[in-house]
Structure 1
Amino acid sequence: MRSLYSKFTLTTILIMLLSGLISFSVSNVYYQKELKRQNDTKLTSIAMDMADFIGSHNDTDLHSYFEHLGSIGYQIFIVNKNGEEIYYGAGFREYNLPEEAKEMVLDGEEYHGVGAFPHKTFVTGFFANELKNTVGIPFEYRGLNYGLFIRPDIKLLFGELHSLIAWLVAGMIVLSVILVLISAKYLIRPIGKLNRATSLIAAGDFGIKLNIKRRDEIGELASSFTKMANKLEKTNEMRKEFISNISHDIQSPLSNIKGYMKLIKAVGTQEETRKNIDAVDSEIDRLSTLTRQLLLLSSIDSRQDLLNAQKYDLSEQIKMVIRQYQWNLSEKGMMVSYSLPKAYIVADPPLLYSVWENLLTNSIKYSSENGEIDIKLVEQEEQYEISIKDNGIGMEQDELARIYDRFYRADTSRTRSVEGSGLGLAIVHSIVYLHNGKINVWSIKGKGTTFTVRLPKEVVKTK
C-alpha cells in the first residue's frame, strides 16, 4: 500500500502534468484557429511592402536588397519566369515547395503556405523551417515577373529567447517537483504523528503529547485528537475505578453474609440467631439496591431517545415522594417545607420519580437531627425549575466536580456510617440529561446543599 505522502506527491505531479497538457492543447487550438491566420496575414503584408518597394525603385540592386533582408531576420526564396532560383538568409530544413505554388505566384496569385500549413502542434507549425511554410507574393522587376517567398528566421529572431524559455520551463518543472516533495512532507508529517498516537491509544497509552501547532484543519484535528485522548484517559481511569468500586461494594456485603451465616450455623441463642438473620437480610437488601441502581443506569445508557414520555402533574409526583419518606423524616425529627403549584410536564414518570427520590434521600442522609429541607417548584416560560435545599453537612468545592461520578462518595471518612452506593447522583444526572434538562448544585461545608433541576415542559421525543 502506498503511503499518503507518495499518493499526495504523485497526485500533485500528475495534476501538474495534466494541467500542462491541457494548457498545451488549448494553446494549440488557439494557434490553429487564430494565430496561424494572423501570422499568415502579417507575413503577406510584409511581403507586399517588399514587392511595392521593388516596384517603385527599379534602380535598386535586387541582390543587395534581399541579402540585407535575409541578414535582418528573414528567409527568402526568389524564382522568376526563366526558372532561376536563389535563396537569401538562413537555409531551409526542407525545400519542399510544390511546383504549382511557384507557378501560381508567377501567374500573379498569392500563396498562403503559413495559413495552410498542416494541423500539427503549434510548436511544429510555428517553428517548422520548411519552404512550403512561407507566403508567396508576385512582383515585377525590370520587366521580368518574379515570385517572392518569405518566412521569419525563427532561430535568428528567437534563438536566445527560445533557450531562455526552455531553461525557464525546465527550471519551473524541477523546482515545482522539489517544492511539492517538501510541502507534502510538511503537510503529511502531522498525520504521521496522529497515526502513531492512534497506535499508542490502541495499546492503552493515553498520555500522548502532540507537538502540532498549526492553525488549519490538521491543527484543529490534532487539538480534537488530544482532547479525545484526554477524555479516553479519564474514561479509562473511571472504568478502573468503577470496577474497583463495584467489586468492593459487592464483595463487602457478600463477606458479611458469609460471616453471619457462619454465626447462624454455630450454636447460639435464639435471639442471636434472629439478629444474625436480620443482618443477612439487611445485606441482601443492600445488594438488591445496588443491582437495581446498576440496572437503572444501564437502562438509561441504552434508552437515550427512547423515553416513555407522557403528560402528568409534576408537583403531585414530588409530593408522593415526600409522603413515601415521611417516616425517615420523622425518625430524624426533620421538617420539610415545600411550594409545589400545579405543573404539568411531558416526561418519563418513573425516571423522574427516581430523580426526586435520590435527591430527597440524599438530603435526609446528610442532614443532622432536626434538620430542615425546603423544596420549591417555579414555572418559567419554557421550563420548570425545581430546587431541593437542606441545611446539612455540605461539601467542599473540590468535591463538587465529582459528585456525579459513579460510586463516588464525597469525603468517605465522614460518610462511612451513611448507607449508599455512590450511584444516586449519577442516576440523577443521567436522567436529567436524558430529558434535555440541566442540574446545578450549590454547597458550602457545614451550611448545606441546594440542588436545582431545570426541565423543559415537554421532552421532544425522537425515534
Structure 2
Amino acid sequence: MKTLYTKFVVTTIVIMIFSSLTAFFISNLYYQSSLKPKNDAKTTELAVEMVQYIEKHPELPLANYLQHSAATGYHIMLIDSKNNTKMFGEPFRDTALDQTTIDKVLNGEIFHGIAEFPQQTFVTGFFANELKNSIGVPLHYANETYAFFLRPNVKIAFNEMHYLFAALIIFTILLSIILVLLSTKFIVQPIKKLKAATSSIADGNYKIQLDHRNDELGQLSESFMQMAKKLSYVDEKRKEFISNISHDIQSPLSNIKGFMTLIENEHTIKEQYALSINAEINRLSTLTNQLLQLTTLDQQERTVKFKNYSLDEQLQKLIHQYQWQFQQKDLMASYSLPATTIYGDSELLSMVWDNLLSNAIKYTNEFGMIGIQLQQDSDAISVIFHDNGIGIPEQEQQRIFERFYRVDSARTRTIEGTGLGLAIAQQIVQLHNGTIDVVSTTGAGTTITVTIPQNDANDYL
C-alpha cells in the first residue's frame, strides 16, 4: 500500500521532472522557431556591415581590423579563391565545411549557417563553435574575393541566452503550478467528500459511501464508514430504547389509571385493586431502579470495590432466598459449591447471580430442574447456571443482552420482566474483565456460564 506521504513525494518529484523536461522541449522549440532565426539575422546584419565597411575603405589594414573585431567577441575566418584560410580571434573548434558552400559564398551568396544548423538541442546548437554554424558573406578587397565567415563567441552567445533561460524558467514554473493544482485537487477531493459525509451524518443520514483508496485517506474513509454504521446502529438502538421505555412506563401507568377509575366508581373489592396498583408501582420502581443502575455503570460513576470474599457462601445465601420460589413451582435444585474465594465487587456480582437465578426460575416449567455449579482453575472462576426450561431460540441468543430485549417480542407479558437484567449482568461482568456465555436449545433448557479472571489486582485498575 502506498502511503499518502509516498504519493505526495513521488507526485512532487514527477511534477518537477515532467515540468523541467517539458519546459526544456518547449524552450528548444522556441529557440528553433524564433530565437535561432533572430540570431542568424542579427549576425548576418553585422557581417554585412563589416564587409561593407571594409569595401568602402580599401586602404584599411584588413588583418588588423579583423583582429580587432574578433577581440570584441567573435570568431572570424577568411577563405580566398585558392582555399587559403586565415582565422582571427579564437579559432573555430571545427572548420569542416563543404566546398560547394564556400564556392557559393565566393560567388556572391550569403551562407546562413546559424539558421540552417542541424535541429539539435538548443545548448549544442547555440554554443556549437563550428564553421558550419556561422554566417558566410562574400568580401571583395584589394582585387581579391574572400568568403568571410563570422559567428559570436561563447561569451556573447551566453549573454544572448538569457531570453532562453527566462523562457525555460517561466515554462517550468507555469507547468509546475498547473500540475500542482491538478494533483492537489486529486488529493483534496476525498477530504471534501469526507466533509460532505460529516455534514450528512450531522443531518442524521448515516448511509454514506466513500471511494476506496490504498493510503491513509482510504483508511480514514474506511474508518469513517465504519463509524457511520456504528452511529446508525446506536441511533436505531436509541429509538428502540425510547420506544421500549415508553411502553414499559406507559403500560403500568395506564393500568394504575384504570384501577383508580374502578376504585372511584365501585364500592367493592377495592382491596384487590389496591394490590394490583401496588404491583404496578413495584414494577415501575424496579424499572427505574434498573435504569439507574445501567446509567451508573455506563458512566462508571460507581467505583468498583474489589475485595476477596467467599463466593460459595454468597451463592448459598442466594439459593436460600429463592427457596420459596423453588417450592412454589416444585422445582428441583442441584448445586455444587466448593469453598471458593473470589476477588471482585460482592455487591455487583450479587446482582449478576440474582438475575441469572431469577431468570432460570422464571423460564423453567413446574417440576423442572435448576443447577448451579462453581468451578475454579489456576487463573479464573466460573459460575454455571443450568436449567431445563423453555430455552432460547438460536436466532434470539445474540440479542438477549440488549437493553429491553425480551424473547417474547410480541410483549404478551405472560412472564414478568423488564428486559434489563441481562444487560446489567453483562455490564458488571465486563467491569470484572470477565465473560458471560450462553448455550441454549429451544424446549431443552439454557446454560449460562460466567467466567471471572483471578489474576493480579492491577488487572482491574
Q: Is residue 368 of structure 2 the alignment partner of residue 371 of structure 1?
A: yes
Q: SS of 1:223's equivalent?
A: helix
Q: Is residue 271 of structure 2 the alignment partner of residue 274 of structure 1?
A: yes
Q: For 1:426 and 1:401, locate their aligned partners in 2 and report how far apart those are by CA, in whole Å.
A: 12
- Runs ≥4 residues deviating over 6 A: 62-75, 157-160
Q: SS of 1:338's equivalent?
A: strand
Question: Is this contact kept in 1: 2:406–2:419, CA < 8 A?
Answer: yes
Residue 334 of structure 2: aligned partner: 337
Q: Is residue 264 of structure 2 the alignment partner of residue 265 of structure 1?
A: yes
Q: SS of 2:181's equivalent?
A: helix
The alpha-carbon deviation at position 174 of structure 1 amounts to: 2.5
Residue 199 of structure 1: aligned partner: 199
For each residue in 1:159-200, what CA deviation from the matched residue of structure 2 results, as whole angstroms up to 9, or x when unmatched?
A: 67x777655544433232222111111111111111111112
CA spacing shift, 1:323–1:181, aligned 2, 3 Å:
same
- The partner residue of 1:361 within 358, 362, 372 is 358
Amino acid at match of 2:284: L
Q: For 2:394 and 2:159, locate their aligned partners in 1 and report how far apart those are by CA, in whole Å.
A: 84
Residue 237 of structure 1: aligned partner: 236
For each residue in 1:303-361, what CA deviation from the matched residue of structure 2 results, as whole angstroms up to 9, or x when unmatched?
A: 26831222212222222222211111221111222222222222211111111111111
Q: For 1:69 and 1:381, locate their aligned partners in 2 and report how far apart those are by CA, in whole Å.
A: 103
CA spacing shift, 1:403–1:237, aligned 2, 3 Å:
same
Question: Is this contact kept in 2: 1:306–1:461, CA < 8 A?
Answer: no
Q: Is residue 291 of structure 2 the alignment partner of residue 290 of structure 1?
A: no
Q: Is residue 154 of structure 2 the alignment partner of residue 153 of structure 1?
A: yes
Residue 451 of structure 2: aligned partner: 454
Amino acid at match of 1:198: T
Q: SS of 1:419's equivalent?
A: coil
Amino acid at match of 1:225: F
CA spacing shift, 1:460–1:334, aligned 2, 3 Å:
farther
Question: Is this contact kept in 1: 2:67–2:89, CA < 8 A?
Answer: yes
Residue 434 of structure 1: aligned partner: 431
Q: For 1:183 and 1:240, locate their aligned partners in 2 and report how far apart those are by CA, in whole Å.
A: 44
Amino acid at match of 2:403: R
Q: SS of 1:373's equivalent?
A: strand
Residue 382 of structure 1: aligned partner: 379
Amino acid at match of 2:257: K
Q: SS of 2:375's equivalent?
A: strand
Q: For 1:267 and 1:420, locate their aligned partners in 2 and report how far apart those are by CA, in whole Å.
A: 31
Residue 185 of structure 1: aligned partner: 185
For each residue in 1:59-78, what CA deviation from the matched residue of structure 2 results, as whole angstroms up to 9, or x when unmatched?
A: xxx97997899699899xxx
The alpha-carbon deviation at position 416 of structure 1 amounts to: 2.5
Amino acid at match of 2:322: Y
Q: For 1:231 and 1:427, locate their aligned partners in 2 and report how far apart those are by CA, in whole Å.
A: 21
Residue 172 of structure 1: aligned partner: 172
Q: For 1:318 and 1:415, locate their aligned partners in 2 and report how far apart those are by CA, in whole Å.
A: 32
Q: How does 1:94-173 map to 2 (within 5 A)?
A: 153-156=154-157, 167-173=167-173
CA spacing shift, 1:324–1:158, aligned 2, 3 Å:
farther
- The partner residue of 2:441 within 439, 444, 449 is 444
Question: Is this contact kept in 1: 2:380–2:454, CA < 8 A?
Answer: yes
For each residue in 1:218-271, what CA deviation from the matched residue of structure 2 results, as whole angstroms up to 9, or x when unmatched?
A: 1111111111111111111111111111111111111111211222233333xx
CA spacing shift, 1:414–1:153, aligned 2, 3 Å:
closer
Name the TM-score, length of structure 2 as normaliser. Answer: 0.64
- The partner residue of 2:310 within 295, 308, 313 is 313
Q: For 2:278 and 2:250, locate their aligned partners in 1 and report how far apart those are by CA, in whole Å.
A: 16
Q: SS of 1:194's equivalent?
A: helix
Q: SS of 1:443's equivalent?
A: strand
CA spacing shift, 1:166–1:282, aligned 2, 3 Å:
same
Question: Is this contact kept in 2: 1:395–1:444, CA < 8 A?
Answer: yes
Amino acid at match of 1:182: L
Structure 2: gaps (5+ residues):
1-7, 17-62, 77-87, 92-152
Q: For 2:243 and 2:301, locate their aligned partners in 1 and report how far apart those are by CA, in whole Å.
A: 26
Q: SS of 2:405's equivalent?
A: coil
Residue 400 of structure 1: aligned partner: 397
Q: SS of 1:240's equivalent?
A: helix
Q: For 2:367 and 2:163, locate their aligned partners in 1 and report how far apart those are by CA, in whole Å.
A: 102
CA spacing shift, 1:437–1:345, aligned 2, 3 Å:
same
Residue 33 of structure 2: aligned partner: none
After superposition, the CA RMSD in angstroms is: 3.4
Residue 209 of structure 2: aligned partner: 209
Q: For 1:204 and 1:178, locate their aligned partners in 2 and report how far apart those are by CA, in whole Å.
A: 39
For each residue in 1:97-125, what CA deviation from the matched residue of structure 2 results, as whole angstroms up to 9, or x when unmatched?
A: xxxxxxxxxxxxxxxxxxxxxxxxxxxxx
CA spacing shift, 1:159–1:450, aligned 2, 3 Å:
farther
Name the TM-score, length of structure 1 as normaliser. Answer: 0.64
Q: SS of 2:206's equivalent?
A: coil
Percent identity over paired residues: 46
Q: For 2:436 and 2:412, locate their aligned partners in 1 and report how far apart those are by CA, in whole Å.
A: 23
Q: For 2:303 and 2:182, locate their aligned partners in 1 and report how far apart those are by CA, in whole Å.
A: 53
Question: Is this contact kept in 2: 1:389–1:451, CA < 8 A?
Answer: yes
Residue 143 of structure 1: aligned partner: none
CA spacing shift, 1:173–1:377, aligned 2, 3 Å:
farther
Q: How does 1:41-60 map to 2 (within 5 A)?
A: none
Question: Is this contact kept in 1: 2:433–2:460, CA < 8 A?
Answer: no
Question: Is this contact kept in 1: 2:352–2:428, CA < 8 A?
Answer: yes
Q: How does 1:29-68 map to 2 (within 5 A)?
A: none
Question: Is this contact kept in 2: 1:334–1:370, CA < 8 A?
Answer: yes
- How many residues are matched? 332
Amino acid at match of 2:282: D
Q: For 1:462 and 1:186, locate their aligned partners in 2 and report how far apart those are by CA, in whole Å.
A: 48
Q: For 1:259 and 1:63, locate their aligned partners in 2 and report how far apart those are by CA, in whole Å.
A: 133
Question: Is this contact kept in 2: 1:304–1:434, CA < 8 A?
Answer: no
Question: Is this contact kept in 1: 2:334–2:370, CA < 8 A?
Answer: yes
Question: Is this contact kept in 2: 1:305–1:461, CA < 8 A?
Answer: no
